[in-house]
Structure 1
Amino acid sequence: MTLYVASYLMISRFWKAKEWVLDVFLVSGMIVCFVGITDYFRMDVLNLHKYIAHEEWDIFTSTIGNINMYTGYVALILGASAAWFAIAKSRIRVIWCYLCMVISFFAIILGRSDNAYLALAALFGFLPFLLFRSKTGMKRYLLMLATFGTVVLCIIQMNQAYKDTVIGLDSLFQTLAEFNGFLYVVAGLWAIYAAVYILIKKSRNKNDEVGPVVMYGWAGLLILSVLVLGFLLFDANVAGNAARYGSLGNYLVFDDSWGTGRGYIWRKSMELYKEFTPMHKLFGHGPDTFGILTVTKIGEEMPQRFENAHNEYLQYFMTIGLTGLIAYVVFLGSAIYCMCKNVKTKPYIIGCCFAVICYMTQAVVNISVVIVTPMMWLLLSVGMASGKKRCDE
């Protein structure tokens, strides 16, 4: 963490930002995604599986490692490419970012980790607050939605055609695959995009700006979605009606088995926190000492060895305390706000911004590792370096 912060200070304060740096990140990211996609087809193009036990082949992929780490990395690529595509003006830039976005859509789905849902939700949920200010932004957003649906549809067809070769989907994406009407949903998305595109093109009003009504409407829709989710959680956990939700009950019912044991370690973490001294509650048990804490306190009862909370924020809450967690979240939030202020002057900053947003969202169920987290800090540093003059004003 000390090295992360030191790197951030040096880059954000002294480096002269260049757009091509983000292109280098996307090019290298495409290699990571390509290897991950081929691993889903069990091709093992880099011949790395010979170093892994056969029964664990399917949970290690690409050049990253565990599928949770892999999709965490792809979330950075997805956030950067999709957001940059959404506001890019150059035709070459639009095509390049669109291709990167499509490939990262394939990669993050075929990664088969549940943290992908959170990254996708953050992308599609928060991007409209920037895009729905213009007609072009609305068109790009609808194109993104239709493209994502098409990617899912292609994956469903590939799974059927190569069912004896591929690893196979599970969880929510498998639910989509079993939904017979999904083809019509995708067709509907393309129809809506085509209709909006034609209406905007034939409109006599050539002003690209859109009033705040659309953005307020989207904010209302998000609030309504949160309320509905809250009701579903209450109904499934408190009211005891989990059975009515079928396979979705695996996500709605929060118990010890939730999230492959995350429910258990999250519950035990809070119990351990209650036993902390006031000083430890404020400043934590110590950086990277979560494993020591669990082994010494609950080692005998743990169903498996937990050396990490599998929630980056809970991990910091336990190890650097309430003070450290608040400082970390406020720092990231202020950095995102600062980057958003500079999007109009340097559009590529939006790629850095949404890469960080996607990372922050998936971190709720993922861990901070030195394979992925330094890249998030690097993109954050680049974004802040690009807009440092206006942020300092």
Structure 2
Amino acid sequence: MEPSVNDQIEAKIKRPFIWKSENLMPVMGAAFAFFVMLLHPLLFDDLFFNINRFKHAVYCYSAYLGLVAYMLLGYMKRKNMTGRIYEPFAFSLADWGMLAFSVVCAISCALSHDPQSAFTGDEGRKSGLLFILAMSAMHIIVSRSPSAGKRAVEGLLISGALVALLGVLNFFYIDPFGFYGPRLSENSVPRFISTIGNIDFFAAFLCLYLPCVMVFCVKAQGIKSFLCFPAIAIGACAIVAARADGAMVALAFSFFSCLLFGVQSRKTLARAFFAMAAALFGFAGMAVIIEAHPDGYMTLEKSLQEYLVKYPSLMSVCAVLLLGASYALHKSKKLLISKKTARFLRRLIWFLFICAVFALVCLFIYYTFINTEAELSGSMKLFRFTDKWGTHRGGVWVRCLKLYAQSPLRVKLVGLGPDLLKKPLADAYGKEIIAYCNLSFDNAHNEIIQYLLTFGALGLTAYLLFVAGGMHTIYLRMKQCPYAAAAFAAAATYLVHALVTVNQPITTPLLFLLLSAGASCGKEADKPAAAQRKETACETSTPPEENGSCAL
């Protein structure tokens, strides 16, 4: 008997062992993934004033206590483990990457100029060794649970809708929790929103939520897909409410992912049009409310989101056309998309995407190195790299790379220490930075550069191994499983946005959770293959794009 597609995929994923179903370990891992993804974005303390520290404390306590409970359960049920427990090379790439990342971070902390601050992260954004090891503990808990990835995506869909809805309400000065009280200065009001806090972090969270819900709408079926319509509309409204350029990354990659996953079959394409129509209706709805209450919302001046609500009629017409096309595709049984056609459409989408990126890069090079005298205004300023590019990110990136180049070999290898960029950067280039923006920076505002400086080349390599391992494992399952596809789109979008944002305890753990849960086993060894295929709805007789649920 030929092995199923699901069995062939799982054969490519080496695991050290698999827990038996009667054991509590997979249940605990799945529950941990669900509740972290559900509660972590929603928790807050002392309004906007303690969000970062509070989320950091709750997350670290949860991870360490969870690891203790997990190990105790493992010790009590150790006889239920099957497989080659002591074969080290059975570890996945994500496992090795996380292990190496933790070890390098510990070495970097020990060799830093301030080990205590490197451990706690008090000098920076609370992303010290304590936080890194908490994410390692989380990886241990969730990476061996077959359904941890599925539960993590479900938690993100719920918490994301609630966080986005609160952000939209805050945008219209509706404040059910009293965030915008007298303690918050008038100048700070536009910079903070929802239970995430800073609008840039809110945009980072939307980079996880919006691609996740749109791709899940495409890959899921029935009532699950239908329920995504209001969730997508709320997410689109939150893109406007964010007022941060990074939120446009979430929007662009959500539509791109939606189309890429949608061209697999007639029904998935219908659901892709359905999802995009929901987003356009969200923009049109925001435009109508803004026009009706011109003084009742936070300003969109000088933000790219202004263009999303500028033409409500056009958005509405496009949304209606997409809904009509979705309905026609859903009802038509004559139109079939063959594998060859689907492959051609995917390549066409990739070609158009690459052409668009190439055109943007050409504009960037032209205005930065060739036509340096032309005056640029509005969003066109993004095509000229200067010290002030990206809210002063340009100057910080250049000086961070200079700092790395002139650092000793030890720093080049293992970094300055976790979250210890502030003092070395200020000592080397503080006067230059103050001269052009009158600010000080404790982060590179680019996660790759930040990890390169704080963890060195070895730490960055280990991090990239973890990311590559987690993404590869999710990729192997996403054709059969809507949850895997949603997780892949969310993680990929966040990783792109990470090039212009800060690593912090608010959204970074959510990315690590998706990648760690994606490295989970995906099936249970003690169940017969036929029963397992029936449970996961991943039988070879069913087209992959029509599966409703799978273990991730």
Regarding TM over 0.5, the answer is: yes
Hey, what's the Cα distance between the residues in 1 that align with 2:247 and 2:289?
Answer: 20
Give 1:53's match in structure 2, choosing from 185, 189, 192. Answer: 185
> Residue in 2 aligned with 1:225?
356
AA aligned opposite 1:379? L
> Residue in 1 aligned with 2:219?
87
Give 1:321's match in structure 2, choosing from 456, 473, 497. Answer: 456
Hey, what's the Cα distance between the residues in 1 that align with 2:402 and 2:150?
Answer: 47
Hey, what's the Cα distance between the residues in 1 that align with 2:174 and 2:287?
Answer: 19
Given that 1:82 and 1:101 are in contact with CA atoms closer than 8 Å, whether structure 2 keeps it comes out as: yes
Query: Does residue 39 of the first structure (1) align with residue 170 of the second (2)?
Result: yes
Query: Does residue 116 of the first structure (1) align with residue 247 of the second (2)?
Result: yes
Give 1:28's match in structure 2, choosing from 138, 159, 181. Answer: 159
Hey, what's the Cα distance between the residues in 2 that align with 1:229 and 1:18?
Answer: 35
Hey, what's the Cα distance between the residues in 2 that align with 1:132 and 1:187?
Answer: 23
Give 1:184's match in structure 2, choosing from 314, 318, 324. Answer: 314
Hey, what's the Cα distance between the residues in 2 that align with 1:175 and 1:204?
Answer: 39
Hey, what's the Cα distance between the residues in 1 that align with 2:249 and 2:373?
Answer: 22
Given that 1:283 and 1:323 are in contact with CA atoms closer than 8 Å, whether structure 2 keeps it comes out as: yes
> Residue in 1 aligned with 2:238?
107
Hey, what's the Cα distance between the residues in 1 that align with 2:145 and 2:447?
Answer: 29
- For residues 16-65 of structure 1, give each alpha carbon's deviation from its aligned partner in whole angstroms, at most 9, with x where no partner exists: 53745533332233222222111101122101222422321111111121
- For residues 207-244 of structure 1, give each alpha carbon's deviation from its aligned partner in whole angstroms, at most 9, with x where no partner exists: 67543111111111112112211211122212216747
Judging changes above 3 Å, is the alpha-carbon distance between structure 1 residues 389 and 294 closer, same or farther for their aligned structure 2 residues?
farther
- For residues 73-104 of structure 1, give each alpha carbon's deviation from its aligned partner in whole angstroms, at most 9, with x where no partner exists: 23222222111111001x21112223222211
> Residue in 1 aligned with 2:134?
3
Given that 2:135 and 2:509 are in contact with CA atoms closer than 8 Å, whether structure 1 keeps it comes out as: yes
Q: Which runs of 5+ in 2 are unaligned?
A: 1-131, 526-552
Hey, what's the Cα distance between the residues in 1 that align with 2:258 and 2:281?
Answer: 20
> Residue in 2 aligned with 1:174?
306
> Residue in 1 aligned with 2:502?
367
- For residues 288-316 of structure 1, give each alpha carbon's deviation from its aligned partner in whole angstroms, at most 9, with x where no partner exists: 11112212222233220101111111111
Q: Which runs of 5+ in 1 are unaligned?
A: none
What secondary structure does 1:299 align onto? helix
> Residue in 2 aligned with 1:161?
292
> Residue in 1 aligned with 2:441?
306
Judging changes above 3 Å, is the alpha-carbon distance between structure 1 residues 142 and 236 closer, same or farther for their aligned structure 2 residues?
farther
CA shift, 1:132, in A, is: 1.9
Judging changes above 3 Å, is the alpha-carbon distance between structure 1 residues 188 and 80 closer, same or farther for their aligned structure 2 residues?
closer
Judging changes above 3 Å, is the alpha-carbon distance between structure 1 residues 185 and 46 closer, same or farther for their aligned structure 2 residues?
closer
Hey, what's the Cα distance between the residues in 2 that align with 1:271 and 1:243?
Answer: 28
Judging changes above 3 Å, is the alpha-carbon distance between structure 1 residues 200 and 352 closer, same or farther for their aligned structure 2 residues?
closer
Judging changes above 3 Å, is the alpha-carbon distance between structure 1 residues 116 and 295 closer, same or farther for their aligned structure 2 residues?
same
Hey, what's the Cα distance between the residues in 2 that align with 1:136 and 1:23?
Answer: 22
Hey, what's the Cα distance between the residues in 2 that align with 1:242 and 1:39?
Answer: 40
> Residue in 2 aligned with 1:69?
201
> Residue in 2 aligned with 1:355?
490
CA shift, 1:112, in A, is: 0.9
> Residue in 1 aligned with 2:516?
381
Hey, what's the Cα distance between the residues in 2 that align with 1:332 and 1:355?
Answer: 13
Judging changes above 3 Å, is the alpha-carbon distance between structure 1 residues 129 and 386 closer, same or farther for their aligned structure 2 residues?
farther
Judging changes above 3 Å, is the alpha-carbon distance between structure 1 residues 141 and 156 closer, same or farther for their aligned structure 2 residues?
same
> Residue in 2 aligned with 1:194?
324
Given that 1:75 and 1:358 are in contact with CA atoms closer than 8 Å, whether structure 2 keeps it comes out as: yes
- For residues 336-389 of structure 1, give each alpha carbon's deviation from its aligned partner in whole angstroms, at most 9, with x where no partner exists: 221122124432222222221222121111111111111222233333326378
Given that 2:276 and 2:322 are in contact with CA atoms closer than 8 Å, whether structure 1 keeps it comes out as: no
AA aligned opposite 2:506? I
What secondary structure does 1:238 align onto? helix
Query: Does residue 134 of the first structure (1) align with residue 252 of the second (2)?
Result: no
Judging changes above 3 Å, is the alpha-carbon distance between structure 1 residues 271 and 140 closer, same or farther for their aligned structure 2 residues?
same
What secondary structure does 1:215 align onto? helix
AA aligned opposite 2:504? V
Given that 1:359 and 1:376 are in contact with CA atoms closer than 8 Å, whether structure 2 keeps it comes out as: yes
- For residues 235-290 of structure 1, give each alpha carbon's deviation from its aligned partner in whole angstroms, at most 9, with x where no partner exists: 22122167476433221111111111111111111221221223322332222111
Hey, what's the Cα distance between the residues in 1 that align with 2:252 and 2:345?
Answer: 19
Given that 1:81 and 1:98 are in contact with CA atoms closer than 8 Å, whether structure 2 keeps it comes out as: no
Greater displacement, 249-258 / 15-24: 15-24
Judging changes above 3 Å, is the alpha-carbon distance between structure 1 residues 207 and 305 closer, same or farther for their aligned structure 2 residues?
closer
Hey, what's the Cα distance between the residues in 2 that align with 1:183 and 1:20?
Answer: 39
Judging changes above 3 Å, is the alpha-carbon distance between structure 1 residues 74 and 219 closer, same or farther for their aligned structure 2 residues?
closer
Judging changes above 3 Å, is the alpha-carbon distance between structure 1 residues 131 and 358 closer, same or farther for their aligned structure 2 residues?
same
Judging changes above 3 Å, is the alpha-carbon distance between structure 1 residues 198 and 245 closer, same or farther for their aligned structure 2 residues?
farther
CA shift, 1:124, in A, is: 2.3
CA shift, 1:203, in A, is: 4.9
Judging changes above 3 Å, is the alpha-carbon distance between structure 1 residues 95 and 142 closer, same or farther for their aligned structure 2 residues?
closer
Query: Does residue 17 of the first structure (1) align with residue 145 of the second (2)?
Result: no
CA shift, 1:72, in A, is: 1.4
CA shift, 1:189, in A, is: 5.6
Hey, what's the Cα distance between the residues in 1 that align with 2:226 and 2:326?
Answer: 20
AA aligned opposite 1:228? A
Greater displacement, 167-176 / 15-24: 15-24
Q: Number of residues paired by the alignment? A: 387
Given that 2:382 and 2:389 are in contact with CA atoms closer than 8 Å, whether structure 1 keeps it comes out as: yes
